Chains A and B, each alone.
Chain A
Amino acid sequence: MDRAQVDAKIRELAEPFNKKGVEITEGTTFANDLEFDSLTVMDFVAEIEDEFDIIISMNQQAEIENYGQLVDAVTKLQAS
């Protein structure tokens, strides 16, 4: 899957978690813009992991602050 496809898929998965309907751009942050708490993060990450059959460890999650970084990380993880 290329980056655009990964982006489209993650956008779809993010929708039910984006309760306030915030517009998601590359720079949208999970903690501040989307106001995800730790439980939401866990559920959201689990959905992505299941969809792409990958692991995003807590250590990797700590490096991901915004949407663009997430798409980059998943694109890389699912290709390897």
Chain B
Amino acid sequence: MQADQPQEIASEGKDLFAKFDDVIALREGLLAQGREDPFNLVMEKVLSPTRAICNGRDTILLGTYNYMGMTFDPDVVEAGKQALADFGSGTTGSRVLNGTYQGHKEVEQALMDFYDMDHAMVFSTGYQANLGIISTIAGKGDYVVLDIDSHASIWDGCAMGQAEVVPFKHNDVEAMEKRLRRIPEGAGKLVILEGVYSMLGDVAPLKEMVAVAKKYGAMVLVDEAHSMGFIGENGRGVVETAGVIDDVDFIIGTFSKSVGTVGGFCVSNHPKFEIMRLVCRPYVFTASLPPSVVATAETSIRKLMHGSNKRAHLWENSRNLHKGLKDLGFTLGTDEPQSAIIAVIMPDLEKGAAMWEALIKGGLYVNLARPPATPANMTLLRCSLCADHSESEVDEILAIFEKAGKEVGII
């Protein structure tokens, strides 16, 4: 036995990591085929919102959720630099203690202006925004009715709050209504929906769903993470397009997609909303965002209010990529482009990983999405477009897809 190694204790103790053996085997199996690891990509240099050097190759980025290309906006970058100089690198504190700076109030004001709502509360990540709001408002004895394809942060919020969780089939208005109807009288009800579902890039029928939720007296929370800045006349999301923004009680969003930095938020018109700052644990018991982050977010949000030209170009990109991929013979997640996400459905995980590798070697980065994160155990190559992708870049993307698809034998 070597002296510098811990002595192995021969006990009956169970290895708590044993529960991960299946995942470890799956991963090893994938890598044993000599594949590049889709979950271990390194960007050595980021050239622009649409280009980076990834694993040593010049690569087009088509899987970063950087929908509006704000990450390199000169005003945004300048605001961050200025805040770093004026306020330092971090707050070292909770929002309710020493972690609220001028910039945190300003970014919350920018959100209230962007959504035209009375209250805005900024969290350190989008995950924490869902976790915090859902777990705090839906407690033991309350009912949460939610779409089965909801994001992990929504499920985790439900679990943490200990409410009764009642899922319904994806985007099925009738299934949702049946469940609402059966909830015992007098119980608190929260319906949770997403504007755009990130796996397939499809949109929820919010007009019908919000009307049904209201009919049964439920409060409604809509996660608009993947639509902010892009969908709706003012970029307020699917709730805006569907004309239901005034009937929705809470909108959850993130800074890590269109806004181009990191952070999460909730906006609301609820008259008692401000109490959330004292009772919401994922808000209280964590450090607030660094000053540079809130400064970049505020500048970006204010610029997104005037982003209609960029929005129009992003829609063009989405339509062009969708049509191009369809014409090449790929199977897509939606019949028509509904958002800036185009999901390409792979026959299985092995083919999906092979296709992902062929794309990355061809100079294109997309997300490989696999079970259990995906609906119906599908393997997907998820493409998220940017308003800064040029028309010729979209052509280039299609050419890389065609070559890779033929190599792997998918088309």
Contact = CB atoms under 8 A, between A and B. Distances in A.
Nearest to A56: B166
Contact of A58 (B165, B178, B376): B165
Contact of B164 (A46, A49, A53, A57): A57
Contacts of B162: 59
Interface in B122-150: 143, 148
Contact of A39 (B143, B164, B376): B376
A13 to B, nearest CB: 16
B179 interface: yes
B182 interface: yes
B169 A46 contact: yes
B166 A57 contact: yes
Given A42-B148, A53-B182, A54-B182, A59 B376 contact: no
Interface string A41-73: 011001001100111011110000000000000
Nearest to B146: A58
A50 B178 contact: yes
A59 B164 contact: yes
| Interface size classification for chain B | 10 to 19
B183 interface: yes
B89 interface: no
Contact of B167 (A50, A54, A58): A58
A55 B183 contact: yes
B47 interface: no
A12 interface: no
Interface in B155-176: 158, 162, 164-169, 175
Secondary structure at chain A's binding surface: helix, strand, loop or mixed?
helix
A39 B374 CA distance: 11
Contacts of A43: 169
Contacts of A55: 164, 166, 179, 182-183
B377 interface: yes
Contacts of B175: 46
A55 B145 CA distance: 11
B178 A49 contact: yes
Contact of A59 (B148, B165, B178, B372): B165
Given A39-B376, A39-B377, A42-B148, A57 B182 contact: no
Interface centre among B158, B166, B175, by most chain A C-beta atoms within 10 angstroms, is B166
Contacts of A46: 168-169, 175
Interface in B337-396: 372, 376-377
A57 B376 contact: no
A2 interface: no
A73 to B, nearest CB: 14
B178 A42 contact: no
A37 B165 CA distance: 18
Contacts of B169: 42-43, 46
Nearest to B162: A59
A46 B177 CA distance: 13
A50 B178 CA distance: 8
A39 B378 CA distance: 12
Contacts of A53: 182
Contacts of B178: 49-50
Contacts of A60: 164
A75 to B, nearest CB: 17
A43 B168 CA distance: 9
Contacts of B168: 46
B185 to A, nearest CB: 13
Contacts of B143: 57
Interface string B77-112: 000000000000000000000000000000000000
Nearest to A54: B182
Nearest to B140: A59
Contacts of A39: 376-377
A37 B169 CA distance: 15
A46 B172 CA distance: 12
Interface in B171-212: 175, 178-179, 182-183
23 contacts: A39-B376, A39-B377, A42-B148, A42-B167, A42-B169, A43-B169, A46-B169, A49-B178, A49-B179, A49-B182, A54-B182, A55-B164, A55-B166, A55-B179, A55-B183, A57-B165, A58-B158, A58-B164, A58-B165, A58-B166, A59-B162, A59-B165, A60-B164
Given A43-B169, A55-B166, A57-B166, 5 more contacts: A42-B148, A53-B182, A55-B179, A57-B165, A58-B158
